[in-house]
Amino acid sequence: MSDNSKNKASKKGFSGDAAITVKALKYYWKVDRVMLPLIITQSILEAIQPYITIFLSGLLIDALYEGKDIPRMIRYAVLGVSIKLVISLVEYYLGKVKWTKYRNMHNYQGILMSEKLMSMDYEYIEDEKIQTIVRKQWEYSHDGVYFILFNKMEAVVRTGFSILISTCVVIPLFLKSGRTDTLSEKIINSPIFALGLIFLIAIGMFFSIRSMKQMQATGRESQDKMMILNRTFFYYFNNFLDASEKGKDVRMFHMKNLISQENDNLLKNVSRNTEMMEKVRWRFELVNQPVSTLAGGFVYLFVGLRALVGTITIGNVVRYAGSIMQFIGSFSEFLTNLSALRLNNQYLAEMLYFLELDPMKHNGTIPVEKPQDNRFVIEFRHVYFKYPGTQDYVIKDLNMTFNIGERLAVVGRNGSGKTTFIKLLCRLYEPTEGQILLNGIDINEYVYEEYLKLFSVVFQDSRIYSFTVGNNVAASEEADEERVKNALERARLTGLLDKMPKGINTCVYMDFDKEGVEISGGEAQRMEIARAIYQDRPFVIMDEPTAALDPIAEYEVYAGFNEMIGNKTAIYISHRLSSCRFCNDIIVFEDGNIVERGNHTALVKGKGLYEKMWNAQAQYYADTKNAAAFQE
């Protein structure tokens, strides 16, 4: 995220904040058109409540002082209490609805961001700037930026409306004129005396605004520090304190003291940061409270003196003094919540930046049609690639072609560019330079979703999720039972399915279902293969598809591989060169390019990198019952 985008709100001041708030509300308006009117209505009702008491008290005091009849006083009381009761009941109902919606707000934000993450180019997912934005959204507030937006906006609307009411109520006080027979009456009723009160209140407002700006300036820094500390805490909690599988290491290697020391340091840092945040708040209160108290004392003096000389009634003392004190209190609260709202807007701006990113750089218009001769030809033409934010090329001037129906093995040392080659083929990234062609057409020209449907991929970090077996294999809410069973059978998982109490409707793992079934790493990897088979797409790509299997289980997978994938194009990436024995074409990557290509026999005789890698691994298969399958 650029500095210009990041600091947009701060540069434009309140207008920038207003633009961010409006934009965020538009997003929420699409899913809930009740929340905003509800908050505004409730805020106004809350703002009105104190003034009902103030006006009722003033009326009763005047009635009592003027000796009016008791029935009239009772009518005043009944009217005031009735209005307050009705408002309280309406406010209670609105508050109940509001808090129900508040509880869903964090989920809404999570869904909004998750849907964006799932729909945008994969390149964004691995981008450090995007990762930082997403991480900060979760770390900033447990309830999320939307909760804070509505919560603080509710307080700003309530206090703002209270300021408006009190201003309207007290304006007549400064316009009233009374007796000027004596010097004291002249002073009390003079405009200068009224201006003195206004000046004092204005001074208080000035210092409050200044303190608010200082508090806001340090608030972001403190919040960022706290997020780092929260991240550290959750790292320790998730990786040591709340992860049973990590508990073995803690015990075996006596790591308790190390972790305890780190936790102590974390708590000290949290305490220091909390103290710093409290000092900022305390400085605000140190300025605000004395000024408010002094202004309040002067208010009572001013109003009392005006009542004493007969400018206003005794009841109006309560009305005006109460309204001015409401003004002072509301203004202080208004500034505090406005500061919190503006701080939240800085994080909200980052979320909006993320949500408004163009989901993909290129989405072509050409549909992917199956050729009449059923031939797909993939060509890499002078392809270069480096990851965003890096200087070194991972792929360098790559040129190669392969056809449908082939069995292609991709081998090489770690970091040689094998997995990046697959990411480029699957349009998870775009080449920095050069082209990738499908049947002579740049793959960026094809409709993105249609192009992806050409590939069934088992990545080395693919996962099985806590869904049913059918959902996992079909990768969909709807699963064809026969196709799922056929895919599991071809992936050599029939025995596992027989143990499933609900068949393909059995949940994998027990995260959400106590009757779920735990599966081993090898079984999970076979299920991932079954998922690729189920999709029935022209290209099957497997990136370390047997990493969790022992050599014999690995051999069983490869021995039945032709049956698994039929006449589809198969691309393997593997550190275990045993997979190459089942491929008619092998490419060897080194330093971002292909250094060797051919079949197994030719490459072994070639005395190159492949031959060295093969001889280094062949000894590990020498004692297996299937050793012959891996030897010349």
pLDDT tens-digit map of 417-448: 888 998 999 998 999 999 999 999 999 999 98
pLDDT of residue 278: 72
Does 146 share its domain with 132? yes
User: What residues contact 524, with CB distance under 8 A and at least 6 apart?
Assistant: 463, 464, 548
Confidence of residue 179 (pLDDT cuts 50, 70, 90): low
Do the domain assignments include residue 128?
A: yes
Per-residue CA distances from 440 to 366, 378, 444, 445, 616 (Å): 13, 8, 12, 11, 39
Mean pLDDT of the residues in the chain: 80
The candidate with the shortest Cα–Cα distance to 338, out of 125, 196, 152, 506, is: 152
Confidence of residue 632 (pLDDT cuts 50, 70, 90): very low
**Rounded to whole angstroms, how far apart are CA atoms 523 and 118?**
26
Do the domain assignments include residue 8?
A: no
**Rounded to whole angstroms, how far apart are CA atoms 542 and 530?**
12
Confidence of residue 71 (pLDDT cuts 50, 70, 90): confident
- Three-point CA angle 489, 491, 493, nearest 5°: 60
Residue 531: phi and psi, rounded to 5, are -60, -45
Does 448 share its domain with 346? no
Do the domain assignments include residue 476?
A: yes
Do the domain assignments include residue 201?
A: yes
Range of the domain at 527: 465-536
The whole-number average pLDDT for the span 336-349 is 86
Lowest mean pLDDT among 291-295, 391-395, 416-420: 291-295
Residue 507: which CATH number?
3.40.50.300
pLDDT of residue 253: 66
pLDDT of residue 437: 94
Whether residue 631 has pLDDT greater than 60: no
Cα 629–chain centre separation: 50
Do the domain assignments include residue 4?
A: no
Does 188 share its domain with 235? yes
Domain edge (last residue) among 517, 536, 555? 536
pLDDT tens-digit map of 200-247: 777 777 777 777 666 666 666 676 666 666 666 666 666 665 555 566
Does 532 share its domain with 544? no
**Rounded to whole angstroms, how far apart are CA atoms 288 and 290?**
6
pLDDT tens-digit map of 159-169: 999 999 988 88
Model pTM?
A: 0.69
Residue 521, token pair as written in the block:
């790493």
pLDDT of residue 331: 84
**Rounded to whole angstroms, how far apart are CA atoms 460 and 423?**
12
pLDDT tens-digit map of 81-94: 898 899 989 988 99
Identity of the highest mean pLDDT range in 193-202, 402-411, 465-474, 621-630: 465-474
Question: Helix, strand or coil for residue 442?
Answer: strand
Lowest mean pLDDT among 257-266, 392-401, 462-471, 472-481: 257-266
Does 92 share its domain with 136? yes
Does 50 share its domain with 138? yes
Confidence of residue 136 (pLDDT cuts 50, 70, 90): confident
Residue 340: which CATH number?
1.20.1560.10
Cβ contact 355:112 at 8 Å: yes
Does 228 share its domain with 109? yes
Count: domains in the chain: 3
User: What residues contact 385, with CB distance under 8 A and at least 6 apart?
Assistant: 393, 394, 395, 420, 424, 429, 431, 432, 433
pLDDT of residue 160: 94
Helix, strand and coil percent figures for the chain, each rounded to 5? 65, 10, 25
Does 249 share its domain with 318? yes
Does 174 share its domain with 270? yes
Whether residue 526 has pLDDT greater than 50: yes
**Rounded to whole angstroms, how far apart are CA atoms 134 and 318?**
52
Does 91 share its domain with 235? yes
pLDDT of residue 284: 67
Does 414 share its domain with 562? yes
pLDDT of residue 216: 63
User: What residues contact 398, with CB distance under 8 A and at least 6 apart?
Assistant: 380, 382, 383, 384, 417, 421, 434, 592, 593, 594
Domain edge (last residue) among 481, 508, 536? 536
Whether residue 551 has pLDDT greater than 70: no
The whole-number average pLDDT for the span 96-118 is 82
Do the domain assignments include residue 52?
A: yes
Do the domain assignments include residue 580?
A: yes
Lowest mean pLDDT among 21-35, 197-211, 233-247, 260-274: 233-247
Cβ contact 91:46 at 8 Å: yes
Name the burial class of residue 212, with classes exposed (0-12), middle (13-18) and buried (19+) by CB atoms within 10 angstroms of its CB: buried
Does 236 share its domain with 224? yes
Per-residue CA distances from 411 to 69, 215, 453, 562, 588 (Å): 101, 58, 25, 20, 5
Domain edge (last residue) among 536, 568, 598? 536
**Rounded to whole angstroms, how far apart are CA atoms 84 and 376?**
76
Do the domain assignments include residue 363?
A: no
